Amino acid sequence: MSLVVFAAACGGSNLQTTEPPPRPEPAQGGFQAQQPAVEGWVNFGAPVEVSPIQRTLVMSAQGGQVAQLLIKGVSGEPEIAQIQIEYLDKSIKKVDINKRFVPGDGQVVELRENRPIEKIIFFMDPDSKGTFEIFGA
C-alpha cells in the first residue's frame, strides 16, 4: 500500500492545495480551546483582518499603560509569526508568537513593562486567512 502511495505522489506535477476541513463542533466531539476571560481587558478596536506579511495597529496610547496583550481569534485561522510593539518613546519590543488562532482561541503576551504603546505591528503568515482581536491590560 505504501509503495502505491509513493508512486502516486511522485508521478504528477500538478500540485493542488485544498482548504483544511472545518473543525467539528463540541457537540460532535470536537475539541475547542478554552476562551480566555476578557473582563478587565481594553479592546483596542475592531477585529483585525489578516493581510499579506504585516498589519499595523496604531494605538497612540489609547489604552493607557499596557503590561499585557491578549490576542484572540475571531474568524478563520489567522497565523501570527511575530508582533513588534513600539512604545511612545520609540523603543521597540519584539515578541515571537508563531501561533495559528482558531475562533475563540487566545494568547496572553506578558510585556513585563507597564507603558503606553504607540503602535503594534503584526507579522503574519501570508497564506493564512481570518480575523483576530487585540486587547490590553
CATH architecture of 40-136: Sandwich (2.60)
Q: Give the separation between CA 72 and CA 41, rounded to whole angstroms.
A: 12
The pLDDT tens digits of the residues spanning 62-115 come to 657 888 999 999 999 999 999 999 998 999 999 999 999 999 899 999 998 888
Distances (CA, A) of 49 to 13, 73, 111, 123: 33, 10, 23, 12
Q: Choose between 64 and 50: higher pLDDT.
A: 50
Return d(Cα 85, Cα 112) in angstroms, integer.
12
Residue 13, SS3 per DSSP: coil
pTM above 0.85, yes or no: no
113-129 confidence digits (pLDDT tens): 888 999 999 999 888 89
- Residue pair 136/117 in contact by the 8 Å Cβ criterion: yes
d(CA 116, CA 62): 8
Distances (CA, A) of 9 to 17, 20, 25, 83: 14, 19, 32, 37
Question: Residues 74, 25, 20, 99: what is their CA dihedral angle, to the nearest 10 degrees?
Answer: 40
Whether the Cβ atoms of residue 62 and residue 114 lie closer than 8 Å to each other: no
Q: What is the pLDDT averaged over residues 2-30?
A: 54
Neighbours of 26 (CB within 10 A): 9
